[in-house]
């Protein structure tokens, strides 16, 4: 259980690395920026 | 479909620039360029190409006319020119509406079919909403406005389709958004403004919309609400001139010589006439962060007996999408009252 918890950040980092390595155009970065900037607002939007 | 963009979805299936442009343009119905719009919205391109966007008779106004007739046949009463200024609430329950002439109409259910930001922030008000709901609605981004030009021409225009674009590729659309639109500017080519947009030839489908031998065209442009160097009321006539010049350059040479009537609704006009904040006819923008459960709900989550319909609610903006949203809201109303 303890070792699987320790693996989780590694898996997430690997997934993020894979995503970044396959999404490298200016459009991809723009879409990522949009999602990252909107992410903190989404929990509040859920209640509307 | 959710995690990728409109542009990526269509690029999987098409490579020709003209086809890509015709499939990508619909992202602006969601209020964004194709590389920022959610991939799910690519379905709008398919819908457009199947032709179900176009009412066969009576033009677009035939749709609300049909809804009104159906409502009256069921015993409903439609009151035109009666502007609602407030939704009356009590203990977070909708009780009715207040009209601009001071009349109160009490009702068991209230349906707001205008922009949800206007419904919550102006017609209900901050004091009647929980703080987190206020913060949620306040954080929502409006879709881009679409200035509309209406033209009457004295001949059959040399077009071969109901819809024709003055745009050339998804890259141009993306470029326009980041380098011009967000800075309050229109697209410029060789020092001259070019008005990007979609020309609709409604009298091709329904000739009764124009007198014999004449036709009507509309141009739906892509332009910012806040202009960097002028305002819409001052710019209106020049905008029409620039749009006609752009149409002449790309699709209808000599159009200007055949225009016998011209008018337009600027984003400011759309705000004044239809209560669209920012002239945003497509409501709230439709990126991943404003979709499904993150878009204003058709049955209000914070005000009991309040329902919402229209472009800013689920599933989104555009004629077919709004009709689908109206059906969802009607279903909820029926379920809750039976």
**What are A5-48's pLDDT values in tens digits?**
778 778 878 887 777 777 667 777 888 888 889 999 999 999 99
CA dist B271 and B278 (Å) reads: 6
Global confidence as pTM: 0.86
- Do the domain assignments include residue B160? yes
Regarding whether B155 and B129 lie in a shared domain, the answer is no
For chain A, give the number of residues: 48
Chain B contact for A30, CB < 8 A?
yes
CB B194 within 8 A of CB B186: yes
Regarding whether B181 and B302 lie in a shared domain, the answer is no
The CATH number covering residue B319 comes to 3.50.50.60
Our CA-based measurement puts residue B218 at a distance from the nearest CA of chain A, in whole angstroms, of 31
Per DSSP, the residues of B140-202 read: PPBPPP--EEEEEESS--S-SSSEEES---HHHHHHHHHHTGGGT--EEETTEEE--EEEE-H
Regarding whether B259 and B159 lie in a shared domain, the answer is yes
**Parent domain of B96:** 62-142+282-336
- Kindly give the confidence (pLDDT) of every residue in chain B, 338 residues in length, as a single tens digit, with 9 standing for 90 and above: 566 888 888 998 988 888 888 888 888 878 888 888 888 778 777 777 776 566 677 778 888 899 999 999 999 999 998 999 999 999 999 999 999 999 999 999 999 999 999 999 999 999 999 999 999 999 999 998 989 999 999 999 999 888 898 877 888 888 888 889 999 999 888 888 889 899 999 898 889 999 999 999 999 998 999 999 999 999 999 999 999 999 999 999 999 999 999 999 999 999 999 888 999 989 998 888 898 899 999 999 999 999 999 999 998 888 888 999 999 999 999 999 99
Chain B contact for A22, CB < 8 A?
no
Which residues from chain B sit within 8 angstroms of residue A31, using beta carbons?
5, 35-36
Distances (CA, A) of B91 to B209, B304, B306: 49, 9, 13
Regarding whether B294 and B263 lie in a shared domain, the answer is no
Strands B259-265 and B215-221, bridge-based pairing: unpaired
Regarding whether B303 and B240 lie in a shared domain, the answer is no
Q: Do A44 and B135 touch (CB under 8 A)?
A: yes
CA dist B100 and B107 (Å) reads: 17
> Where do we find the tokens 């999408």?
B321
- Do the domain assignments include residue B261? yes
CA dist B66 and B155 (Å) reads: 30
CA dist B298 and B307 (Å) reads: 6
Q: Find the closest chain B residue to A27 by CA distance.
A: B35
Q: Do A48 and B116 touch (CB under 8 A)?
A: yes
The last residue of one of the domains, among B229, B244, B275, is B275
Regarding whether B256 and B150 lie in a shared domain, the answer is yes
Regarding whether B127 and B70 lie in a shared domain, the answer is yes
Tell me, what's the ipTM? 0.86
Tell which of B288, B292, B297, B314 to mutate to test the A interface (max A CBs under 10 Å): B288
Count of structural domains within chain B: 2
Tell which of B121, B132, B308 to mutate to test the A interface (max A CBs under 10 Å): B132
**What are B78-133's pLDDT values in tens digits?**
999 899 999 999 999 999 999 999 999 999 999 999 999 999 999 999 999 999 99
């Amino acid at each position: 259980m303890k070792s699987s918890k320790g693996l989780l950040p590694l898996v997430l980092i690997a997934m993020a690395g894979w995503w970044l390595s396959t999404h490298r155009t200016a459009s991809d970065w723009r879409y990522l920026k949009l999602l990252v900037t909107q992410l903190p607002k989404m929990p509040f939007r859920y209640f509307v | 479909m959710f995690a990728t963009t409109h542009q990526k979805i269509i690029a999987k299936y098409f490579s020709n620039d003209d086809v890509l442009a015709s499939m990508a343009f619909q992202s602006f119905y969601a209020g964004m360029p194709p590389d920022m719009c959610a991939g799910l919205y690519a379905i709008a391109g398919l819908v457009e190409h199947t032709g179900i966007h176009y009412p066969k008779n009576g033009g677009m106004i035939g749709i609300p006319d049909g809804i009104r007739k159906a409502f009256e046949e069921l015993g409903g009463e439609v009151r035109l020119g009666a502007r609602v200024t407030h939704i009356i609430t009590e203990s977070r329950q909708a009780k009715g509406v207040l009209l601009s002439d001071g009349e109160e109409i009490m009702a068991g259910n209230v349906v707001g079919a205008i922009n949800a930001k206007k419904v919550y922030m102006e017609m209900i008000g901050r004091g009647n909403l929980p703080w987190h709901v206020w913060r949620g609605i306040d954080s929502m981004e409006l879709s881009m406005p679409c200035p509309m030009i209406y033209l009457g021409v004295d001949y059959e225009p040399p077009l071969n389709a109901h819809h024709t674009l003055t745009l050339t590729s998804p890259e141009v659309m993306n470029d326009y958004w980041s380098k011009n639109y967000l800075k309050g500017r229109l697209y410029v080519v060789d020092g001259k403004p070019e008005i990007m947009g979609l020309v609709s030839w409604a009298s091709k489908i329904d000739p009764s919309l124009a007198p014999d031998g004449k036709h009507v065209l509309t141009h739906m442009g892509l332009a910012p609400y806040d202009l960097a160097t002028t305002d819409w009321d001052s710019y209106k006539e020049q905008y029409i001139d620039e749009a006609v010049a752009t149409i002449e350059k790309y699709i209808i040479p000599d159009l200007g010589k055949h225009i016998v009537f011209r008018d337009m609704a600027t984003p400011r006009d759309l705000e004044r006439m239809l209560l669209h904040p920012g002239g945003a006819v497509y409501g709230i923008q439709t990126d991943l962060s404003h979709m499904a459960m993150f878009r204003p709900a058709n049955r209000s989550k914070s005000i009991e007996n309040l329902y919402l319909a229209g472009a800013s609610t689920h599933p989104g903006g555009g004629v077919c999408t709004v009709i689908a949203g109206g059906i969802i809201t009607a279903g909820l109303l029926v379920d809750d009252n039976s």
